């Protein structure tokens, strides 16, 4: 079952269960996917997004909501922060499992060895390989810092 089919199935289930939070979030996901499809159709002439593209859309949505939740917490709007956090939970249910800190460190070491990186100049090469191999499975902000630390 493709990711798009899974989202559609969950949307129907949320409608039947009258789960308003989940339903609203799934509708936001569908809207983001359609926006991305329209942009891709105009840019590259692509008619349908792959699961990797959908994962990238979902990852971006999670990042946006984390930033919003942080801003709401700083502004003492805990009700809105809780809403954003609930949306993050729904979106993350469609993403692959995130690597733990130890797994991320091991993956970085493996990619560094495979690419033959040995200096800070090779960070781009290592990050490109990580993004190709572990899309949606790790926080590349943290990974970038770890790669820089290992290559320094």
Residue 24: its pLDDT value, please? 95
- Indicate if the pLDDT at residue 136 is higher than 90: no
Alpha carbons 74 and 92: distance in angstroms, whole number = 23
Residue 12: alpha-carbon gap to chain centroid: 23
The single-letter DSSP state of residue 76 is T
Taking phi over 0 as left and psi of -120 to 50 as alpha, with beta for the rest, 116 belongs to left
The single-letter DSSP state of residue 101 is H
Q: What is the pLDDT of residues 105-117, one digit of tens each?
A: 888 889 888 888 8
Q: What is the pTM (predicted TM-score) of this model?
A: 0.75
Tokens for 127, please give them.
């990050």
Q: What is the pLDDT of residues 44-82, one digit of tens each?
A: 666 778 888 888 899 899 999 999 999 999 999 999 999
- What is the CATH T-level fold of the domain 3-92, as seen in this structure? Hypothetical Protein Yqey; Chain: A; domain1 (1.10.1510)
Q: b vs e for 94-118, b when ≥16 Cβ sit within 10 Å of the residue's Cβ?
A: bbeeebeeeebeebbeebbeeeebe
Residues 6+ apart with CB under 8 A from 12: none
Right CATH number for 101-151 from 1.10.287.1040, 1.20.1600.10, 1.10.10.410, 3.20.20.450? 1.10.10.410
Q: Which residue has the tokens 């789960």?
A: 19
Alpha carbons 130 and 119: distance in angstroms, whole number = 16
Domain boundaries, the chain: 3-92, 101-151
Tokens for 6, please give them.
């899974």
């Amino acid at each position: 079952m493709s990711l798009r089919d899974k989202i559609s199935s969950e949307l129907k289930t949320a409608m039947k269960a009258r789960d308003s939070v989940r339903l609203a979030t799934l509708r936001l996901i569908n809207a983001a996917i359609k926006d991305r499809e329209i942009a891709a159709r105009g840019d590259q002439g692509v008619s349908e997004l792959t699961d990797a593209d959908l994962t990238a859309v979902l990852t971006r949505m999670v990042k946006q909501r984390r930033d919003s939740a942080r801003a709401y917490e700083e502004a003492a709007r805990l009700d809105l922060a809780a809403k954003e956090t609930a949306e993050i939970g729904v979106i993350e249910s469609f993403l692959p499992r995130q690597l733990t800190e130890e797994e991320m460190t091991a993956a970085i070491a493996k990619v560094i060895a495979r690419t033959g990186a040995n200096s800070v100049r090779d960070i781009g090469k290592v990050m490109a390989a990580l993004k190709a191999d572990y899309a949606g499975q790790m926080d590349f902000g943290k990974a970038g810092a770890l790669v820089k630390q290992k290559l320094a």
